[in-house]
Amino acid sequence: MKVLIQRVKNASVTINNELFSSTNKGLLLFLGVEKKDTIQEADWLVDKTLKLRIFEDENEKMNLSVQDVGGEIMVVSQFTLAGDCKKGTRPSFDNAKAPSEANELYEYFVSKLKKSGLNVQTGVFGAMMDISLINDGPVTFMLEK
């Protein structure tokens, strides 16, 4: 399981030219689910994401988590994070979990984040989405479990 984390000033998801969801200051998470992934990986990634100190304190040091700053979270399913580009020039998606199983883990991941009490928004699993964001920093991290 992979989570690409971007610290954002705001983010939004548009589907078929209509705004679906949006957030303010916080995190935009792109979640990729692979065949080997289980609830245990999801639990670890949720905990790590919520506690990751990537927001600046009063001394401009990354010392605060999204929870500390009362930030918001946008989670978008990102099938292409399971892509393997090591061979040739066309990505292989052999490692991607089947859509129905991946959606279950995606929904589980989102439900665990919502238990934090933060405002958590999503895209639509498997949909073609336009994602807009203002990356704050820019600050971007990849978590893998």
Instruction: State pTM to two decimals.
Output: 0.95
As a whole number of angstroms, the distance between CA 84 and CA 96 comes to: 10
Ordered domains of the chain (ranges, CATH): 2-144 (3.50.80.10)
Q: Which residues are catalytic?
A: 80
* pLDDT tens readout for residues 27-82: 999 999 999 999 999 999 999 999 999 999 999 999 999 999 999 999 999 999 99
The whole-number pLDDT of residue 145 equals: 85
Distance, in Å, from the CA atom of 5 to the CA atom of 48, rounded to the nearest integer, reads: 11
At 92-145, the pLDDT tens digits run 999 999 999 999 999 999 999 999 999 999 999 999 999 999 999 999 999 998
